[in-house]
Chain A
Amino acid sequence: MSKTIWVLVEIENSRPARSSLEVLGKAASLGRAEAIVLGSHAAEVASGLGEFGAEKVYAHNDPAYDTYLTLPAVDTLSGLLKQHQPDLLLLATTYDLRDIAARLNARNNTGLITDATDLRFEGDTLNVTVPWGGEIVVTATLPKQGAGIVLTRPKAFGLEHYDGRTPEVETLNISLQASSQVMKVLESVEVESEGPSLEDASIIVSGGRGLGKAENYHLVEELAAALGGAAGATRAIVDAGWLPYSHQIGQTGKTVKPTLYVAVGISGAIQHLAGMKGSKYIVAINKDEHAPIFSVADLGIIGDALTILPQLTQEVKKRKAQ
C-alpha cells in the first residue's frame, strides 16, 4: 500500500525553504507526499508546493508561528498527526525543525532518527540510512506504530520537479492556544560576512586542533583568501573558543559540498566528516598518519600544517598570477 509521508515546509523570506522542498521531493518519491505549511505566508505558498511533489497541503495562515518559536508548530502538528495518521514525518535538519522534532517525539512517543542520508520502505518496514563516520553506515528503522520522525542530513537530496502537479489545499481553521505563545522572537538580525559564505563557497579551507593554537588560524584564512574560498572550522576549535559557531562545519554546524575542501590539522571526527564528506575533492594535511581524514582524502599530506600552509598560500598566489 502506498505510504503517506508528511513534510513540514519552512518559510524563509516569505518563500518555501529550499531544504524543505528537497525533502518534499524525496517524500514524493516514496509515496504520497503531503506538506504542512504554517505562518503568515502559508496560504500564498501552499498551491506552489505541488510542483515540488506535494499532493496535498495543510496550510494554517497565522502570524503567531512567525513570532513564537516551536510550541505553536508542535501543537498543530501533533493534532494533525493524531487526526490523519500518516506513515512518516520527514524533516530537513534546520535549527527550528530540530527543536520541533525533539518535542514532537517526546509528546507522541513514536521514535526519531536523525542525520539520515537516504530512506525507503520495504513493504511496511522503513529502512533509514545513517552514515557513521567515514567507514560505517547504519541501517535503522522505527518499529513502533504511529508516524515516526526522520530528520535528513542537509543537502542529502536534490530538488525534484513534479511539473503540473496541483495539490489539494486544506486551509486549517484552528486556533492556537495561548500557552504555546511563550517563546517570543524580539528581534532577528542577519550578519553580513566577508567573502563567500560557507554554504555558497566552491572552495573551503578548514582548520582543526592540529593548528595548535588560535593564533595560527590566520594561516587557514590566508589560504582560503588566496584560493577565493571561505574559511571553516571543526567543532573542537569552536568549542575551544578560537572561532564563533558560524564557522563550524559538521553535523550540526554547516553541511558543505564544495568542489574543493582543504582540511588542515583536522583528524576527521565523525561529526566533522558528516559535514564535509560530500565535497568533490578533499585535500588533507595532518601530522598523524592514522588520522581518519586520510581515508576520505583524494590527496593526503602527512606533515606540519604550520610549515606547509604559508608555502602553499605563496605557491597558489604565484600560479594564479601566471
Chain B
Amino acid sequence: MKIYVCIKQIPDPNTVVSKLDPATRRLVRSGVSLVLDPGDETTISAAIKLRDTIGNSELIAVSMGPSSAQEAMRRALAMGVDSAILVTDPALAGSDALGTARVLAAVLKKENADLIFCSTESTDGYTGMVPGGIAEFLGIPQLTFAREITVEGQRAVIKQVTQTGYRTVESPLPALVTIASGSFEAIYPTMKGIMSAKKKPFTQLTLSDLGIEAAQVGEAGAREQVMSIGKVEARAAGQVLKDDGSAAQTIADFLQRYQLL
C-alpha cells in the first residue's frame, strides 16, 4: 500500500510569537527558527505505526514550501518515513489553503495514493481547510479528527473525536485521514534514523512538473484578501507582579475581590 503524509514547516511555536508583516500581510517566516509542525510529528507517528502494522507498504512525506522545508522533511525521514517529495516554486508564496490543497492534491494524484495522512490543522495557520480541499480535489472521502485508525483490506475505520465523545466511522480506500493532535505517541528520531535519512530518496518538484498554472496558486490565486491589519482594542491593562513569595495570597485576594471564591 502507498501511504502519504502531508507535512509543513512552520515558525517554532514554542519560541516564536507569530507576527504578520504589515507590508506583505503574510506570516513572518524569515529570521525565525523553523521546525516541523509539532502536530505533524503526531501525524507522522500515526502513519509510521500504520505502515508497520499493515506491512508491505511504503510511507512518503509530501510538503509544499521554500527549499528550507527540506530540513523539516529530513526530520520526517529520520523518524522513519521512507522518502520525501517537496514542491517548491517562487510562485507559491502567499498561497491560501485552497492553493496549497491544489498543489498537494496534484502530487498525490500522480502518485496514486491509497491512504493520505494530514494533521487536522497546522500550528501556524490553523484554518484546517487544506485536508478537506485535498480530498475534494482527489474525489476521495476525508476521515477527520481521528484518534485511532485501522485498515482492513480496502476499508479504513477510525475513531473520530467529537464535541462530546467519539464516533466510529468507516470508509472505502483510497481515503484521506486527519489525525487529532496528541492522539498518538510521538516517535523520536534515533541516531541511526538521522544517519539513514540522508540516504533516503528526496524529490523536488516545481509547479511545471505538476502542470499547475502559476495564476491558480500563490498570492495570484488566493481568494481571500486582507484589507487591513489593526490593533485590537486592548483589554484594560492588568497588573503584572513578580512573585515575592506572596503570590498565592495575592491571587486569592483578587479572587475574593471579584467574588470568585
The docked-state distance in angstroms from the alpha carbon of A139 to that of B232 is 11
Do B240 and A132 touch across chains, with their CB atoms under 8 A apart?
no
Select one of B230, B250, B254 contacting A136, CB under 8 A.
Answer: B230
Chain A residues closer than 8 Å to B239, beta-carbon distance: 298-300
Q: Which chain B positions have C-beta within 8 A of A295?
A: 234
A143 to B226, CA, bound (A): 10
Q: Which of B39, B163, B258 neighbours the largest number of chain A CB atoms within 10 Å of its CB? A: B163
Closest to A301 in B: B247
A99-B144, A308-B248 known; A319-B133 Cβ under 8 A: no
Contacting residue for B13 out of A127, A139, A269, CB 8 A: A269
B122-163 to A contact mask, C-beta < 8 Å, 1/0:
010011111111011100011111010000000001001111
B201 contacts chain A at the CB level, 8 A cutoff: no
Task: Give the contact stretch, choosing among A27-35, A41-49, A170-178, A309-317.
Answer: A309-317
Asked if B172 and A239 make an inter-chain contact with CB atoms under 8 angstroms apart, the answer reads no
Q: Does B185 contact A (CB under 8 A)?
A: yes
List the B side residues contacting A240 at CB < 8 Å: 38, 182, 186
Question: Using Cβ atoms and an 8 Å threshold, which residues of chain A touch B171?
Answer: 182-184
B residues 211-261 with Cβ under 8 Å of A?
A: 223-232, 234-236, 238-243, 247-252, 254-256, 258, 260-261
Query: CB distance A133 to B136 under 8 Å?
Result: no
Per-residue contact bits, chain B 181-216, to A (CB 8 Å; 1 contact, 0 not):
111011000000000000000000000000000000
Return B79 CB to nearest CB of chain A, in Å: 15
A242 to B186, CA, bound (A): 12
Judge whether A239 and B42 touch: CB under 8 Å.
yes
Q: Are B136 and A136 in contact (CB under 8 A)?
A: no
Q: How far is the CB of A210 from chain B (nearest CB, A)?
A: 11
Please count how many residues in chain A sit with their CB below 8 Å of the partner chain's CB atoms. Answer: 96
Q: Name the distance in Å between B139's Cβ and chain A's nearest Cβ.
A: 9
Name which residue of chain A comes closest to B42, CB basis.
Answer: A239
Nearest CB in chain B to that of A296: its residue:
B235
From A94, A103, A135, A203, B163 is in contact (CB under 8 Å) with A94
Are B144 and A95 closer than 8 Å at their CB atoms?
yes
CB distance from A83 to the nearest CB of B (A): 20
B252 engages A316 (CB within 8 Å): yes
Shortest Cβ distance from A234 into chain B, in angstroms?
10
Q: How far is the CB of B234 from chain A (nearest CB, A)?
A: 8
A139 to B250, CA, bound (A): 39
What band does the interface of chain B fall in when counting residues whose beta carbon is under 8 Å from A?
A: 35 or more
Cβ–Cβ < 8 Å partners of B128 in chain A: 98, 102, 114, 252
Residue of A nearest to B252 (CB): A315
Tell me whether A184 and B247 are in contact in the complex, defined as CB-CB below 8 angstroms, given that A138-B20, A315-B252 are known contacts: no
Q: Which residues of A contact B132 (CB under 8 A)?
A: 70, 98-99, 101-103, 105-106
A139 engages B182 (CB within 8 Å):
no
Contact partners of A243 in chain B: CB under 8 A: 182
Determine the chain A residues whose CB is within 8 A of the CB of B17 once the complex forms: 133, 269, 292
Which has the most chain A C-beta neighbours within 10 Å: B126, B137, B228? Answer: B126
- Which A positions have Cβ atoms within 8 angstroms of B? 69-71, 74, 94-95, 98-99, 101-103, 105-107, 109-115, 127, 131-144, 148, 182-191, 203, 209, 227, 235-236, 238-246, 248, 251-252, 259-260, 269-271, 274, 281-283, 285, 289, 292, 294-304, 307-308, 311-312, 314-316, 319-320
Residues of B with Cβ closer than 8 Å to A? 13-14, 17-18, 20, 25, 38-39, 41-42, 96-98, 101-102, 120-121, 123, 126-133, 135-137, 141-145, 147, 157, 160-172, 180-183, 185-186, 223-232, 234-236, 238-243, 247-252, 254-256, 258, 260-261
